[in-house]
Chains A and B, each alone.
Chain A
Amino acid sequence: MEQTTSALKVSEKDVVVPGEILAEGIEYLPGQGMYREGNNIIASRFGLVRLEGKVLKVLPLSGKYLPRRGDVIIALVEDVNISGWRVNTNSAYTAMLSLKDASGDFIRRGADLTQYFDIGDYIVTKIINVTSQNLVDLTMKGPGLRKLEGGRILKVAPSKVPRIIGKQGSMVSMVKKATGCNIIVGQNGIVWVKGINPEDELLTVETIKKIENESHVSGLTDKIKEFLESKGKVVEIPQLQEGGDHEEVE
Chain B
Amino acid sequence: MTEEVRRHVINYLKHDLRYDGRKNLDYRPISVEVGLIKTAEGSAKVKMGDTEVIAGVKFEVGKPYPDIPEEGTMMVNAELLPMSNPLFESGPPGIQAIELARVVDRGIRESKAIDTKKLCIKPGEQVWTVVVDLIPLNDDGNLFDAAALAAMIAIKNAKFPKLEGEKIDYKHLTDKGLPIISEPISITVLKIGEHFIVDPLGTEESVLDSRLTVATKDDGTICALQKGGSQPLSLEDVEKMIDIATTKSKELRKYLR
Contact = CB atoms under 8 A, between A and B. Distances in A.
A213 B2 CA distance: 29
A198 interface: yes
Interface string B193-213: 000000000000000000000
B17 interface: yes
Interface stretch (A114-122, A137-145, A177-185): A114-122
A197 interface: yes
B4 interface: yes
Contacts of A120: 1-2
A19 interface: no
Interface of B: 1-2, 4-5, 7-8, 11-12, 15, 17, 19, 21
Contacts of B7: 150
Residue of A118, A152, A199 with most partner-chain B CB within 10 A: A152
A70 interface: no
A182 to B, nearest CB: 13
Residue of B1, B5, B8, B12 with most partner-chain A CB within 10 A: B1
Contact of A202 (B1, B5, B21): B21
A120 B2 CA distance: 7
A198 B5 CA distance: 13
B23 to A, nearest CB: 12
A50 B1 CA distance: 41
A239 to B, nearest CB: 32
B15 A199 contact: yes
Sorting the interface of chain A by its residue count into under 10, 10 to 19, 20 to 34 or 35 or more gives 10 to 19
Contact of B8 (A152, A202, A206): A152
Contacts of B1: 118, 120-122
10 contacts: A120-B1, A120-B2, A149-B4, A197-B15, A198-B11, A198-B12, A198-B15, A199-B15, A202-B17, A202-B21
A229 to B, nearest CB: 19
A79 to B, nearest CB: 14
Contacts of A122: 1
A151 interface: yes
Interface of A: 118, 120-122, 149-152, 197-199, 202, 206
A206 B21 contact: yes
B21 A151 contact: no
A199 B11 CA distance: 11
Contacts of A151: 8
B17 A150 contact: no
B193 to A, nearest CB: 14
A199 B19 CA distance: 10
A151 B7 CA distance: 10
Contacts of A152: 5, 8, 19
A124 to B, nearest CB: 14
Contacts of A121: 1
Given A202-B21, A206-B21, A150 B15 contact: no
Nearest to B1: A120
Given A121-B1, A198-B11, A199-B17, 17 more contacts: A118-B1, A120-B1, A120-B2, A122-B1, A149-B4, A150-B4, A150-B7, A150-B8, A151-B8, A152-B5, A152-B8, A152-B19, A197-B15, A198-B12, A198-B15, A202-B17, A206-B21
A122 B19 CA distance: 18
A12 B11 CA distance: 49
Contacts of B17: 198-199, 202
3 tightest Cβ-Cβ pairs between the two chains A and B: A120-B1, A198-B12, A198-B17
Nearest to A202: B21
Nearest to B5: A152
A199 B8 CA distance: 13
A150 B11 CA distance: 11
Nearest to A203: B21
Contacts of A118: 1
A149 B4 CA distance: 7
Contacts of B5: 152
A150 B10 CA distance: 12
Contacts of B8: 150-152
Residue of A121, A199, A202 with most partner-chain B CB within 10 A: A202
Contacts of B2: 120
B11 to A, nearest CB: 6
Nearest to A120: B1
Contacts of A202: 17, 21
Nearest to B4: A150
Nearest to B7: A150
A149 B1 CA distance: 8
B205 to A, nearest CB: 15
A56 B84 CA distance: 38
A20 B19 CA distance: 42
